[in-house]
Amino acid sequence: MLKIGVTGQAGFIGQHLYNTIGLFPEEFERVEYRREFFEDENLLNDFVSKCDVIIHLAAMNRHHDAQKIYDNNIALINKLVAALEATDSVAHVLFSSSSQEERDNLYGKSKKEGRQLLAQWAEKSKGKFTGLIIPNVFGPFGHPNYNSFIATFSHQICHNEAPKIEVDGEVGLIYVGDLVKLMISEIRNSSAVDLINISATDQKKVSEILGLLQGYKTQYVEQGMIPELNSQFELNLFNTFRCYMNIREYFPVKFVKHADPRGTFVEVIRLNVGGQVSFSTTVPGITRGNHYHTRKIERFAVIKGKALIQLRKIGTEEVLDFYLDGMEPAYVDMPIWYTHNIKNIGEEELYTNFWINEFFDPNDPDTYFENV
């Protein structure tokens, strides 16, 4: 079993990589990393000594003082190399560099020189090194005004701010989940490759992306409609957009209930995308779920009885509680990378409609069990 450590574990790419590695417990063991390791030589040496594979993601991307970015990133590399040498490590080190390597800026310079320092370590040691040149990355949980313009736009739109396009150019993009798959493939491959240029999976104009995001707000946030998603890119973009909503304030969303002498009628979901609709009954005191998805869109709609729906983002401890009652039918949508469940907290059977945007495939279920 390979023991893997991820520096920058709590960062945008780091948390996705760390959590995805955790989906393969029979193949990989995660070595916990904390930011303070780079402030204590003994702690860093101990971390390095435990790792068969180290993915070095820890770095500063933005700061008003460019020299500080350069100094910080080179200092981290030097400390990592010193720890590798002190522990006689033979680890496979993967380094996330940037397509900005060839640009005339100190961030790109720090990435290129850092990659070269690690390659030199590998030449002198019995370790392995792989340098990854990475294009623009987007995905859920990126920091606005830091990781990606998509994170910035999504945050602004969800908070009723007006995004501004500085340059409407075409941008090469890769979804963080696709990048993580490539990284794990290189870990499994275990070959030393000094330089791998990772290609962007999509080329999009900034204005095109902004238009899609604004459409998601209109259709999904304001109208409760699942938008038309014409490609894997649009699914990834929509799932990214959803993570910037204030979940606690937005859900549960109450349905419009139409009543006449015959009874009631409730429209559960409007779709511009396909999928699968299911129905369940749950006896009092029983909990369903306790799992999460990494790509699927899912809606729980309570139409009879009383329910507690709980969400918790993977890697965190905060639990979000939503109480729903069939007397006022409502729904909650499940964000990706949030484990979730539904419990019958009433005295009668709970009736729930479930919708998910793709058919269930037992060979690729995208369902991972973890208690909320």
pLDDT digits (tens, 9 = 90+) for 120-162: 999 999 899 999 999 999 999 999 999 999 999 999 999 999 9
| Residue 130 within a domain | yes
pLDDT-derived band at 189, boundaries 50, 70, 90: confident
Mean of the per-residue pLDDT values for the chain? 95
Say whether pLDDT at 191 is over 80.
Answer: no
Say whether pLDDT at 311 is over 90.
Answer: yes
Burial label, 241 (beta-carbon count in 10 A; 0-12, 13-18, 19+): buried
Domain final position from 87, 112, 134: 134
> How much is the average pLDDT of 195-216?
96
Say whether pLDDT at 102 is over 80.
Answer: no
| Residue 225 within a domain | no
What CATH number is associated with residue 74? 3.40.50.720
What pLDDT score does 195 carry? 85
Domain final position from 134, 158, 179: 134
| Residue 295 within a domain | yes
DSSP-assigned letters across all residues of 228-275: P--SHHHHHHHHHHHTTS-HHHHPSEEPPEEEETTEEEE---EESS--
Provide the domain limits for residue 19: 2-134
| Residue 147 within a domain | no
φ, ψ for residue 135 (rounded to 5)?
A: -80, -170
| Pairing between β-strand 28-31 and β-strand 2-7 as defined by DSSP bridges | parallel
| Residue 189 within a domain | no
Say whether pLDDT at 63 is over 80.
Answer: no
Domain final position from 134, 150, 169: 134
More confidently predicted of 260 and 165: 165
pLDDT-derived band at 316, boundaries 50, 70, 90: very high
Percent of the chain whose predicted confidence (pLDDT) is above 90: 88
What pLDDT score does 104 carry? 78
| Pairing between β-strand 2-7 and β-strand 53-56 as defined by DSSP bridges | parallel
What pLDDT score does 103 carry? 80
What pLDDT score does 192 carry? 73
Query: Could you tell me if 95 and 121 are in contact, meaning their C-beta atoms sit under 8 angstroms apart?
Result: no
What pLDDT score does 262 carry? 86
What pLDDT score does 99 carry? 79
**Over the stretch 224-282, which tens digit does the pLDDT of each residue have?**
999 999 999 999 999 999 999 999 999 999 999 888 898 888 899 999 999 999 999 99
| Residue 61 within a domain | yes
- CA 170, distance to chain mean position in Å, is 23
What CATH number is associated with residue 270? 2.60.120.10
Task: Report, in angstroms and rounded to the nearest whole number, the Rg of the chain calculated over CA atoms.
Answer: 23
| Residue 168 within a domain | no
Amino acid type, 103: R
Structure tokens at 182: 């490539």
pLDDT-derived band at 64, boundaries 50, 70, 90: confident
pLDDT-derived band at 62, boundaries 50, 70, 90: confident
Percent of the chain whose predicted confidence (pLDDT) is above 70: 100
3-state secondary structure 53-84: EEEECCCCCCCCCHHHHHHHHHHHHHHHHHHH
| Residue 139 within a domain | no
> How much is the average pLDDT of 315-328?
96
Number of domains in the chain: 2
More confidently predicted of 340 and 66: 340
